[in-house]
Amino acid sequence: MTADHRVAGWSGEQVQAHLFLLAGHRAGGSHATALSDAHRYGLAAEDAGYAGVWIAEHHFISYGVCPSATTFAAHLLGATRRIAVGTAACVLSVRHPVSLAEEAVLLDELSNGRFRLGIARGGPWVDIEVFGTGEDRYSHGMADALEILLGWLSGTATVAGNSRFPFRPVQVVPRPRRPVPTWLAATSPATVDLAARHGLPLLLGLHANLDEKRALLARYAQVAAEHGQDCSQVPHGSVHLAHVEDTDTAAARTVRDGLPGLLAGTREYVRLDGGESGPPDIEAYVRRLVALHPVGSPQRCRAAVAAAAALPGVRHLLFLVEATGDRATTLRTIGRLSTEVLYGR
C-alpha cells in the first residue's frame, strides 16, 4: 500500500481510491441494519487504506436510507482518525445554502480538514414538495444557491443574500480558515457548465460510461477556459461499481443476483410530473453496469480501474461495493479491492 493512497500501477498524476456508500435497504432487512452496515464499511475502508469514504443522501426511498449525508459524515469522522469523509451528495435544492455551508465549515474545523463537501441539484422528486422549496427552486435556483454557499465558504467575513435568497449581510461564524473542498455532482451539460464557471470539480455518476464521462470533462475544460478558470489541477471524481471474485463469471453472477434488489429502490422516487422512476429494465441495466465497471477477477478489475483512472482530470475514484447486500461479502470485497486491485503490485 502506498503512503499517499495512490492507485497502484497508474503512472500518471495521483489518483486516490475511496468508497461510495449508499446505505441501501433490502427486503427482509431493516433501515437500522442498512445504516449500521454502511458505518461498518466506512471503518473497514480506513483499516484497508482507502483515501476516503463518501456518503450518499436520499429522501423517502429505500435505495439509500441516509437522509443527511453531513450527519452521517460527522459520525464517521468522529469514529476515524485518518480517512477523508465526503458527501455524495447533499441535495442543495432542498437545503438553504447558508445552513449547509455552516455545517460544512463546522465539520471541516472539527475534523482538522478531513471533510469533503459534495453537492447535487437532485431530481424533480416529491422532496421539493415536502421541504417546501418548490419546483422553481429546483429548476432555476441552483446557480443562486451555489453563489451563496461558495461565498460562505470563501473565507470572507460577511455574506449578503441575493435575489432568490434575500437577507442582510451577516457574519460568517465559524469563519473557515482554509478552503473546504467542494465538488458538484453532474449528469447534464447545464450542471457541468455551472461547475466549470466556478472552477468546481465534478462528481461523475455511476450510470455514464467512460466515453460519456470524457465528453462531460471535455465540455468542462472548454467552459472553464471561457470563464478564465485554470482547470489543470481541478480534482474531478468518478463513481464506479466494484466487486472482486476469483473469476469474471463468478463476480458477474453475484452482482446480477444481488444488485437488482438494491436498484429496485430507485423505483420508489415519486416524480412531481407523475412519471415512472428507475431503469425500465433493471436486469438489463445491471448487465450494462457489470460490463462498464470493475466487476470480475482481480486482473479484469485492475484493467477497468486503470481505464477509469486515465479519464482526464479525474483524481478520485469512488467505488460502490454494496452490490450484494451481504455484510460479510461486502467486507471481503473492500479488502480484496484494496489488496488485489488498488494497492497491490
pLDDT for residue 14: 86
pLDDT of residue 7: 73
Is 280 within the bounds of a domain? Answer: yes
Q: Which helix (H) or strand (E) holds 79?
A: helix 69-79
Query: Structure pTM?
Result: 0.96
Q: Which pLDDT does position 119 carry in this prediction?
A: 98
Amino acid in position 124 = P
pLDDT of residue 169: 98
- What is the distance of C-alpha 235 from the center of its chain? 13
Could you report the average pLDDT of every consecutive run of 10 residues in the chain (345 residues)?
A: 54 82 94 98 98 98 98 98 98 98 98 98 97 97 98 98 98 96 97 98 97 98 97 96 98 98 97 95 98 98 98 98 96 98 81
User: Does 6 fall in a domain?
Assistant: no
Pick from 291, 298, 311, 294: nearest CA to 345: 298
pLDDT at 5: 65
CA dist list (Å): 276 to 43, 59, 91, 270: 36, 17, 21, 8
Residue 4 belongs to a domain:
no
> Considering the domain boundaries, does residue 135 fall inside one?
yes
Cell numbers placing 113: 480538514
Number of domains in the chain: 1
Q: Is residue 235 in a domain?
A: yes
CATH of the domain at 206: 3.20.20.30
Mark 186-211 as b/e (b = at least 16 C-beta within 10 Å).
bbeeebbbbbbbebbbbbbbeebebe
The residue range of the domain holding 183 is 16-342
